[in-house]
Chains A and B, each alone.
Chain A
């Protein structure tokens, strides 16, 4: 079974709006990573946040982590049509063994 669950499963917004996706996981983690996947393509790494970090920024991305609630959120600000993709959170304990969530399908309407 998968470690994480993303919420919502699908999200549709207008270009320029912000998009927020949430991820919940079940066990203790060392870090959590967010990935983007365009249809039929590989996974693109977005951001890694360690268990002792609470917030991290990268360009238009902001990730938060609440280990007490076993949850993380990904915020994409000022969305663009090119942000249309599926977004996955993945938790890891090392050894490249990642457990992925079910993903959020984001559609940004131009």
Chain B
């Protein structure tokens, strides 16, 4: 079974631009969540989607948004990029996102904002 796939793996953007990151969950998994990892703040939860609905959201500004498609694939978007948005963005999937689910992560997308 293929794991969680994220694209692109690396990208460089300029301040003020926007970026879209893509995530394909493990086949059969319907819950997809996104995390941001930075040296200063560590791993932080962004949001979680299940059946195309956002169920949970972390403490990030509205510039960070996401969506999920009917095939469970998900995208996250960051608008008006700031230097502080430079980070590793990780996508994770699980069957239902319920208690006791093992949560699997992708390799991440490295975003550098210059």
Bound together: yes
Residue numbers of A with Cβ under 8 A of B are: 2, 30-31, 33, 35, 40-45, 48, 50, 88, 90, 92-103
User: In the complex the two chains form, what is the Cα distance from A41 to B105 in whole Å?
Assistant: 10
Contact indicator per residue, chain B 34-72, by CB within 8 Å of chain A (1) or not (0): 010000001111001010000110100000000000000
Rank and list the top 4 A-B pairs by shortest CB-CB distance, nearest first. A96-B33, A100-B43, A43-B105, A42-B107
Q: Are B50 and A95 in contact (CB under 8 A)?
A: yes
Residue numbers of B with Cβ under 8 A of A are: 4, 6, 31-33, 35, 42-45, 48, 50, 55-56, 58, 88, 90, 92-94, 97-108, 110
| Chain B residues, CB < 8 A from A95 | 31, 33, 48, 50, 55-56, 97-98
Given A2-B42, A97-B48, A99-B45, check contact A45 B104 (CB 8 Å): yes
| Chain A residues, CB < 8 A from B103 | 33, 45, 90, 92, 96, 98
Q: Are B94 and A96 in contact (CB under 8 A)?
A: yes
